[in-house]
Structure 1
Amino acid sequence: ALAKEDIPCFGPGAYAANLEGSKAFSKITMRDSGVPTAPFQVFDEYEQAKKFVEEKGAPIVVKADGLAAGKGVVVASTVEEALEALDDMMVKNIFGTAGERVVVEEALKGEEASFLAFCAGEDYALLPSAQDHKAVGEGDSGPNTGGMGAYSPAPILPRDKYAETAELVIKPILKLLAERGEPFTGILYAGLMYTENGPSVLEYNVRFGDPECQPLLMRLDCDLVEIMMACIENRLSEVGVKLKDETTLCVVMAAGGYPGSYEKGAEITGFEEAEKIEGVKVFQAGTKYEEGKTLTSGGRVLGVTALGADLGAAQKKAYEAVEKISFDKAYFRRDIGDKGLKK
C-alpha cells in the first residue's frame, strides 16, 4: 500500500513478511530453499498432531503457526508437556487463530546466535553476530521472555564465519523469494542453533530483534537512514556498512513478575547518572511520561546498553549503569555475557 503511493518503506511486502508471520510458511520456505533447519511437520488437525507427538516422543518442539507475542513456541521435555501445548493452542485456542495450525519439529541441542542482514532483493549487507538471552532467570532458567539481554559479537559466530554462514542461511532465502517475484527488502534476522552439525535455522524474523537491536546499532558507524534508503532504492551494493570494532552488551531491566503479571506506574530514576558513564545508552521500552515523571508501563522496561573494548569491559559498564537506575520491583539478570566470557 505504501509503495503504491510512492512512500519509501523499509520492510518486506506481505508475502515475504510471512517468514515471521507464519511458522509453517517459514519452515516450508527453508526446506524449499535448502536452508538447514530441524525436521518438521505441519498440522491443522489436533488428533493428527497428537498422534505424531506420541509416536515421536520427547524432547520435541511445538510452535503456533501465527504470531503469539513471543510465547507461541514450547520446547517440551516430555510428551505430556507437548500434548498440553497442543491442547492449549488447538483446542483451548489460547492464541486465537494463531494456534489453529501448528508446526511440530525435532528439538535441537546447542548454542544459539542471531545473524542479521540489510537486504535489497538478492543483495545483502551483513551485521555482526549477536547472542540473546531468552530465559527470565540466571543460567537460562525459568520461562522464556522476549529477551532479557544480548551482546555482540557472539563468540560462537566469529567474523571470519560471517560470509559462509550467510551463504547457508541468508542468500538462499533471498534468491527463492526473488524467483517467486516477491523480492525481500528490509532486515532479515536468522535465529540460529549451533549443533554438532553446524548452524541450523530456528526461525526468521523480518525486523531487528529486541534486545539484539540495541547492541547491534550501537556498533553501527555509519548513517542508518542512508542504509535503509539504499535498500529501498536497490543500491545497497553502493553503500558500505561500517562497524565499530568494540563489543556491546545490553541488560534488560524488567518489571517484577515479568513474563507473568506485573505492576505498572512505578517511577524510574537514575537515567542521567547511568548515561554519564562513557559508552552507555539507556533505551526506553515499557515506559510512559506522565506529569513530569517517567513511569513503567510494560514488562520489559529499559535496555541498558554499553560499548566496551571487549565483552568484559562492556559487561562491567552495563551493570554499573544498571545499578544507578531504580524503580520499584525492578528485575534483571546478573549473568548477561557470562557465557561469552567463558569462550
Structure 2
Amino acid sequence: MNILVIGNGGREHALAWKMRQSPLCQKIYVAPGNAGTASVAENVSIGVDDFARLGQFCIDKAIDLVVVGPEGPLVNGIRDFFENDAALKNILMVGPGKIGAQLEGSKDYSKQFMLRNNIPTAKARTFAAGDLVQALDYISECKPPIVLKADGLAGGKGVVISLSQGEAKAVIKEMLVNKRFGAASSKVLIEEFLNGIELSVFVLTDGKDYVLLPEAKDYKRIGDGDTGPNTGGMGAVSPVIFADSVFMSKIEERIVKPTIDGLLREKIDYKGFIFVGIMNVGGNPFVIEYNARMGDPETQAVMPRIKSDLVDLLAACGKGQLAGKNLEVHDDFAVTVALVSGGYPGEYETGKVISGLDHQGDSIVFHAGTTKHEDDVITHGGRVLAISGSGNSLEQARARAYKTASGIDWEGLYYRKDIGQDLMNYKG
C-alpha cells in the first residue's frame, strides 16, 4: 500500500515508524513531516489544512491509505472533503468526519454526547461571552478546585484548574472576555473537579467494531511533581500499573461500548481513533475528555509496544472491516520523555542546533519540532524530541529513556526528570 500520514509531530513520526515495519507498506509519505520522519518516509511540503493539494498528491502518487495525525484537519473536515470528491472518495482514511471530530472540537458537544449516552463524566455547565454574569454566579455555587475548559481546540492548553472561587472568576473573565485562548474560549465549560489519577485509553474503531490499543498515562504539566502550567504533554508511560483487567473491563463496559453504540445510534460514521481521557476516581472510571486522534506523546509510548501489523489494522478500519481483528502487544514497559525548548509552553526560541542524535542507545528518538538546516538538525517547535525507552520493567525503561536524553543537547534544552516516578511508587 502507498500511505500518506498527515502531520509533523512526534505522534506522526511514531505512526510512520511503526507502519514502515509492515510488509503491506510499499511507500510512505508524511506531510509536512519533520527531520525524523525523513528517516522512515518521504516528507512532502504540504500543510495539514491544504486539502486540495493533499488530495491532488494522493491522486498523483496513487495513495491507498491516509492516516490523519493531528486534530485540526479532522475538525476542519478533511474526510468530508475527500468523500465529496469523486476522485478521492475511495481512498481509505483513518480519521473521522467533521461531525465525529466534534467529540474533540467542542467540549460542550462531547459533554452533551456523554450525557445523552449515559457515559460517566464530571458535572458541567457551558457559558458564552454574553453569559458572564451567570457564569460568575455559577462559580459562587461551585466547590473548589474548579475546572475551566475552553470549548474549542487550544493545543492541549485550554484547561485551567482554579483553587478558589476568586481565581476561577478571574480566569473565566480572561477566557470569555479577553479571549485568552482566542476563538477556542468563545464558550467555556465550568466543570466539577474529579480527584483521582489520569489514564489515556485508545480505541481504533470503524464505527461498528473496535480494537483497544495499549493504555498510557501522560504528564501534562511543565514541572517535576506535576507543577506549573499545562503543556501539550511532557512524557508518557505504558502500561499503567493501576489499569488492571478489572479496571479496564469497567472502562470497556461503561465507556467504550456506550461510546461506539452512541455513534451508531446518532448515525455518526466514525472511522478512526478515539482517545478517551479517563480519571480513575476510587476505582471507577470517569471521562474527562474525548480526542478524535491518537495522543501525543502517548503514541510514542504505545507504538513500540504493538506487536501486530499496524497497517493491516488501519486498512481494516478504513474499509469498515475491524470485526474479528485482534491486537497483539509486547509485555515490555515503555517510557517516553519529551525534550522541549526553554520557555515552553510560553515563548521560546527555535533554530538551535541539536547534538547527540547519533547516539540513541537502547531508546528510540522520535522527532517532533525539528527540521534540517544544511547538515544540522535544528529545533523548530516547543516540543522538540520524544525519547522512548523500553524494558522488562518500568525502572529499566525509565533508565534507558533518561540515559539517551542525557546525551542529547541544544541551547535551552529542558525535560522533566520524574516521568513514571509516581507509578513506581504507586500504592493504589
Tell me, yes or no, whether TM beats 0.5.
Answer: yes
C-alpha distance in structure 1 between counterparts of 2:249 and 2:205, whole Å? 15
1:125 maps to 2:214: no
Residues 51 and 160 of structure 1: CA distance in aligned 2, closer, same or farther (over 3 Å): closer
Which of 268, 275, 281 matches 1:195? 281
Say whether 1:26 aligns with 2:110. Answer: yes
Q: Which residue pairs with 1:115 in the alignment? A: 201
Q: Which piece of structure 1 moves more, 177-186 or 285-294?
A: 177-186
3-state SS of 1:236 partner: coil
| Pairing 1:302–2:380 present | no
Tell me whether 299-308 or 40-49 shows the greater mean CA deviation: 40-49
What pairs with 1:234-313 in structure 2 (closer than 5 Å)? 234-274=320-360, 277-278=361-362, 280-313=363-396
The one-letter amino acid paired with 2:102 is: N
SS at match of 1:321: helix
- TM-score, normalization: structure 1? 0.96
Tell me the distance in 2 between the aligned counterparts of 1:174 and 1:46. Answer: 35
1:160 shift after superposition: 4.8
The equivalent of 2:299 in structure 1 is: 213
Show the counterpart of 1:59.
145
Residue in 2 that maps onto 1:12: 96
Residue of structure 1 equivalent to 2:229:
143
Residue identity over aligned pairs, in percent, reads: 39
User: Would you say the 8 A contact 1:129–1:158 is kept in 2?
Assistant: no
Give 1:260 deviation, angstroms: 1.2
Matched letter for residue 104 of structure 1: I
Contact residue 150 and residue 212 of structure 1 kept, 8 A: yes
3-state SS in 2 of match to 1:2? helix
User: 1:3 aligns to what?
Assistant: 83
* CA distance in 2: counterparts of 1:221 and 1:43, whole angstroms: 45
Q: Note the C-alpha offset of 1:98.
A: 1.6
Q: How has the CA–CA distance of structure 1 residues 160 and 58 changed in structure 2, closer, same or farther, with 3 Å as cutoff?
A: closer
Note if 1:102 corresponds to 2:188. yes
Per the alignment, residue 226 of structure 1 pairs with 312
Corresponding residue for residue 58 of structure 2: none
| 1:66 CA drift (Å) | 0.7
- Indicate conservation of the 8 Å contact 2:211/2:325, yes or no: no
Corresponding position of 1:172? 258
Give the aligned length: 340
Alignment of 1:42 onto 2:121: no
Contact 2:250 2:284 in 1 (8 A): no
Please tell me whether residue 161 in structure 1 is matched to residue 247 in structure 2: yes
Structure 1 partner of 2:13: none
Deviation at 1:103, TM superposition (A): 0.9
Contact 1:2 1:8 (C-alpha < 8 Å) held by counterparts: no
How high is the TM-score relative to the length of structure 2? 0.77
Partners of 2:110 and 2:391 lie apart in 1 by 36
CA RMSD of aligned residues (A): 1.3
Answering whether residue 422 of structure 2 is matched by residue 342 of structure 1, we say: no
Determine helix, strand or coil for the equivalent of 1:105.
Answer: strand
Shift of 1:84: 1.7
Q: 1:263-316 CA distances to partner (integer Å, 9 max, x unpaired)?
A: 111110111212xx23x1100001111111100111111000011111111001
Secondary structure at the counterpart of residue 93 of structure 1: coil
Matches within 5 A, 1:79-94: 79-94=165-180
Summarize deviations over 1:19-75 as a string: whole Å, max 9, x none: 100000011111111111011111121111111012224211111111112221111
Counterpart amino acid of 1:257? G
Q: Structure 1 residues 193 and 324, CA, compared in 2 at 3 Å: closer, same or farther?
A: same
2:31 aligns with none
Structure 1 Cα separation of the partners of residues 417 and 195 of structure 2: 24
Counterpart residue identity of residue 203, structure 2: A
Is 1:325 equivalent to 2:408 in the alignment? yes
